[in-house]
Amino acid sequence: MAAAAHEAGITHRVAASGSRDDGANDSAAAVSGPNKKPGGGGRASSSSRRGLRSLAAAVSLSAALTALSFFAASYSSPSPAPPKAAATASTTTVAMVRAGSVASEAVLALAAWMAWAEGGVHARPAATLLPYAAQLGAALAWAPLVLGRHAAPRAGLACCAAMAAAAVACARGFGAVNPVAGDLAKPAVAWAVILAVVNYKML
């Protein structure tokens, strides 16, 4: 009977040791299991980089096109007699208008990008994409019309009116998708009014 008790004790100790080993393995698996996410962090980082690149491209392209329109107007072939608008607008005024236009278009491009990131451009193109394209086109046409070789301040006023109307539509369309984007579009409305005042003084 002593031998049987001794064998039973050995069997009990072996079973207890095995259960402890199993518990340790389970704990290690529970700790290491959730940490194994192959490729998860890489996908998020790649998506963030693509978003930042698209944002930088949208803002820089809009600002560059606006600045280019002013430089194209200033370097156009001069007419024999300087246009009245070109003579009225001082160098300081032109520089301020150029800086304000570039800043306004950059902020509006940021608002458009935010609406695009939320899917609003694809879901509501008539309320987001079309007004933005119209506003950008009018903004790019203003400098060549008013400050170019054949200055036409009255046509510039029409551009200002189109810019203001399109900016209001952008504020509404972007705001329906993202309220912050709608707020960012509102300075473009104020800038169109300021530009119209400057334009009016050139008549």
pLDDT in tens, 18-31: 555 555 455 444 44
Residue 88 belongs to a domain = yes
Residue 188 belongs to a domain = yes
pTM above 0.75, yes or no: no
pLDDT exceeds cutoff 80 at 32: no
Q: What is the mean pLDDT of the chain?
A: 81
Residue 6 belongs to a domain = no
* Average pLDDT for 9-23: 49
Residue 9 belongs to a domain = no
Residue 48 belongs to a domain = no
Residues 6+ apart with CB under 8 A from 170: 108, 111, 112, 128, 131, 132, 135, 185, 188
- Give the pLDDT of residue 101: 97
Three-class SS state of 83: coil
Give the residue, 73 or 196, on which the prediction is more confident: 196
Max CA separation in the chain (angstroms): 127
Instruction: Give the residue numbers spanning the domain of 171.
Output: 62-201
Q: How many structural domains compose the chain?
A: 1
Residue 44 belongs to a domain = no
* Average pLDDT for 153-163: 95
- Give the pLDDT of residue 57: 94
- Give the pLDDT of residue 2: 46
Residue 90 belongs to a domain = yes
Residue 62 Cα distances to 56, 101, 106, 136, angstroms: 10, 10, 6, 8
Among the listed residues 201, 190, 144, 141, the one whose alpha carbon sits nearest the alpha carbon of residue 164 = 190
Residue 178 belongs to a domain = yes
pLDDT in tens, 65-117: 999 999 998 876 455 445 555 545 678 889 999 999 999 999 999 999 999 99
